[in-house]
Structure 1
Amino acid sequence: MSNRGSQPSYVKYLEKGVEYIRDNPEKAAIAGLAGLLLLGDSEEKSQYDIQFVIWDVEHGDSMFIDSPGENIVIDLGRHQNGFSPTDYLKQSGIDTIDWLIISHPDKDHIRDIVAFDDRYDISLYTRPDGAAKYIRHRQESVYPNDELYQNITGKFLEFEERRFSYHEPPIDRGQLRVYEFSLSPSELGMTPAHELDTDERGPSLNNLSILHVFEYNGFKLVTMGDLEEDGIELLLERSDVRRALRGTNVLVAPHHGRESSYSTKLFDTISPDLVVVSDAGGTEHSAVQKYSHQASGKTADRRDSDSVVRNVVTTRKDGAIYFGANSSDDYRVTID
C-alpha cells in the first residue's frame, strides 16, 4: 500500500509534466495533459486532501484518484493520438497504483490495459461480474482476427484469472469511502454466453457497468461506466443505491453523455453541482443540454483565463478536468 507522503512532491510532478509537454507538444495539446500538471505551484495544490483527474481520451474513459491512502485508476481508455494515461502517470513520478477499477470491458475502457500491466502491480482489482464469458465468446467467434481486441481483452481475462483481493462495499480506504453497485446478467435478462450462436456478437455489456460513489468528507463524485437508462433505473429501485447517491456533487455522465443513458429518474435522487462528459465530438446523440438543466452550476477555474460558472464540463472542449477536495463545502474544479 502506498503512502501519500512517500510520493514525489507536486513540484516534481510539475517539473516532469513540463518536460513531457515540451517533448510531446502535439500529444499534450490534443489530450489536455495540463489537467494534472499545470495547476499552479505545490503550495496551491497541497491545500486539497484528495484529487481526481479525468483525462481526455476521446471516446473512452480514464480517471486517476490521488487519495490520502492510495492511488486509484478507474478505466483505461487511450487517446487516438497515442496519449497513454499509464505512460503519463509513470512519467509524472507515480510509481504505485494500489487499486484498479474497470467499470466494464468495452474496448474504449480498457485500451491502455496492456501498458498498465507492464508498469504496475496492484493489490485491489474491481471488475464487473459476468462479463468474462461474453468476452471469451467474442474473442473466439466474433473478433478472432482483430489483433487489438484480442490483445486488450486477453489482458483483461488475465486479470480475471488472477483475482486480486476484493472487499464488500462500502469500502473504507482511510477517509475515502467507496460504494460499488452492479447488476448481474441474470438480473438484466441477458442471454447466457454459452447459448449464443457462433457468429452472434451477443448482448451489450453496458449495463454490467459498475456504479461507483467516491465520498470524501461529504464530497461525492459518481461514475457509472456505460450504464444505460434501463440499467440505471433498475439500480435506483434499491434503497441502498439511492441512499449512497444522495448528496452527489459531481456526476460523470454514463456512456459519455449519450441520450440512451440519460435517466430523468436519476435526478429524483441527485441534484449535482456539475456533470462531466468524457467524449470526443461529433455525436448526434448527446444529452449534454439535458444534463445542463439538471445541474446547479459550479465555478470552474480556467488555467489560462478567468473562472467561469459551468453546469457541464466536457473533455472534448475543456481537456483534462481536475477536482481537488477537502469536503463537499471545499472543492475546486480546474479545466483547460
Structure 2
Amino acid sequence: MSELKIAFLNVGHGDFCYCETPNSENMIIDCGSEKDAVVPSEFLKKVSTINELQISHPHTDHFLDIEEISKKEIKSFRCPNPNSFENSKIGWKKSDESKIKKLKELYRTIKPDDGAVQITNGFGHWLYYPSFDKTDPNTSSIITILSYKNDKVLMAGDLMATGWEEMLKNKDFLNAIKGTTVLKASHHGRENGFCGALFDHISPSICIISDKSLDKDNENTSCTDKYTKAVKDGGGGIEFFRTLDGVSVGTRYVLTTRNDNSIFIKISASGLYIKTHTNWE
C-alpha cells in the first residue's frame, strides 16, 4: 500500500523529522539532537542517500548533527541563507563553529532541486519563505506542507506568531493550508510561536510538539494548553488505543516528544495512523 511516512523523533530540545514519500523517496527536515536523545545519523545509519535535506532555519538546535548527516549523498539542500545572520545568532557554543561552517558549505555547494522529491501519485509538497529579521534566525523558518490522500501536515520550524500572522495575509498560503490534519507546533510549542488566528483557517485533528522535558528553561514559556484548547475547539482529537490489547487510552489533542517519545505517522488511503515510542509498525 502506498503511504506517506513521517517520524518526529525525540531529540530533546531541537527538531528532527524524517519522511518517506509514497514514491519511495526520503526527506529530512532538521537534524538537531541533545545528549541522551535520538541521534539523527544513528537513526539513519542504514540510509545512504537523502533526496532532500531541509534545515528549517539556521539555529544550531535544528542542525547539530549536520556534520555526520553530510557524509551521506544529499541530492537537494534547502535552508534560509545562513549568511544573512551573524554566527553568534546561529550558535552560541565553541563546539557550534564547525557545525555552522558545514551548514554554510552545504548551502554553497548543494542547490535546491525540485525534482529530487517527486510531486506525483497524489503526494504534495509546498514551501513558503516568510520575510525575516536578520537579528533572529527563528523568523526565517521555512513553512513546509506535506500532503497525501485526505491528510495534510503543516510544520514551520521556530516561526514566531508574527510570522504566521504575516503569512495569513497570503491567499495562496491560505489555500495551501486548507485541510490541515496534523500541525507541528512551531518553536517547540512555546508561547511566542502560538498564533490563535491560524486556527481560524485550519482545524487539525492533532498537534505535535517537539521539546525536552519541562525545566527552568522552558516551563514558563510552554503553551501546550493553548494548543490543546485550539484543537479541541476546532473539533479535532484522536482516540488512541494500547497496542497490546486494543483498550482505549482516551482522546488526545496534543502529542509531545517529551511525554510520548518519538512519534510515527503513516498516511494512506485508509487514513491517518499514529504510533508513539517505537516505530511505524
Normalising by structure 1, we get a TM-score of: 0.73
Aligned to 2:186: 254
Paired residues of 1:299 and 1:307 also in contact (CA < 8 A): yes
**Mapping for residues 168-183 of structure 1, pairs under 5 Å:** 172-183=119-130
2:94 to 121, 128, 147: 147
Contact 1:301 1:334 in 2 (8 A): no
**2:41 aligned residue:** 86
Deviation at 1:58, TM superposition (A): 0.8
Partner of 2:50, secondary structure, is coil
Q: Which 5+ residue runs of structure 1 have no aligned equivalent?
A: 1-46, 192-202
Q: Which of residues 41, 63, 66 is equivalent to 1:113?
A: 66
The reply on whether 1:243 has 2:175 as its aligned counterpart is yes
Matches within 5 A, 1:30-109: 47=1, 49-69=3-23, 70-81=25-36, 83-90=38-45, 93-109=46-62
Change (3 A) 1:137 1:55: closer
For 2:79, the equivalent position in structure 1 comes to: 127
Q: TM-score, normalised by structure 2?
A: 0.87
Q: Deviations over 1:303-322 (max 9, x none)?
A: 55644321000000000101
Which digits, 9 at most, give the CA deviation of each residue in 1:191-224, with x for residues without a partner? 5xxxxxxxxxxx1111100001101113101111
Give CA deviations for 1:154-208 in whole Å, capped at 9, x if unaligned: 110001111323339x9725432111011233xxxx35xxxxxxxxxxx111110
Quick one: distance in 2 between partners of 1:136 and 1:248? 35
Q: Distance in 2 between matches of 1:258 and 1:74?
A: 19
Describe the SS at the equivalent of 1:74. strand
Q: Is 1:323 matched up with 2:253?
A: no
Q: Which of the two has greater helix per residue?
A: 1
Give the letter aligned to residue 153 of structure 1: I
Q: Secondary structure at the match of 1:87?
A: helix
| One of 267, 283, 300 as aligned partner of 2:240 | 300
In the alignment, structure 1 residue 162 sits paired with structure 2 residue 116: no
**Alpha carbons of 1:171 and 1:262: their partners in 2 closer, same or farther (altered >3 Å)?**
farther
Please tell me the residue identity of whatever aligns with 1:257.
G
Cross-structure match for 1:311: 253
CA separation of 1:138 and 1:212: change in aligned 2, threshold 3 A: closer
CA displacement at 1:294 relative to structure 2: 1.5
Distance, in Å, in 1 between the alignment partners of 2:99 and 2:243 is 35
Aligned residues: 265
1:234 aligns with: 166
1:291 to 204, 210, 227: 227
Structure 2 counterpart of 1:206: 138
Shift of the alpha carbon at 1:138? Answer: 5.0
Q: Which has the larger radius of gyration?
A: 1
Cα distance in 1, alignment partners of residues 118 and 102 from structure 2? 26
Q: 1:320 to 1:83 in 2, by over 3 A?
A: closer
Q: Does the CA-based 8 Å contact 1:87-1:115 persist in structure 2?
A: no
Question: How far, CA to CA, are the matches of 1:158 and 1:75 in structure 2?
Answer: 16
Quick one: percent identity of the two aligned structures?
28
Q: In structure 1, what is the equivalent of residue 209 of structure 2?
A: 277
Kept after mapping to 2: 8 A contact 1:135/1:153 = no
- Once residues 95 and 150 of structure 1 are traced to their aligned partners in structure 2, the CA distance between those partners, rounded to angstroms, is 26
Q: Do the aligned partners of 2:237 and 2:253 also contact (CA within 8 Å) in 1? A: yes
Aligned equivalents of 2:268, 2:156: Cα separation in 1? 23
8 Å contact from structure 2 (residues 11, 37) kept in 1? no
What CA deviation, in whole Å up to 9, does each residue of 1:112-160 have, x standing for no partner?
1011012x111111112x4323144658xx95xx432101111100011
Q: Distance in 1 between matches of 2:55 and 2:109?
A: 14
Q: CA deviation at 1:87?
A: 1.6
AA aligned opposite 1:312? V
Instruction: Name stretches of at least 5 consecutive residues in structure 2 with no aligned partner.
Output: none
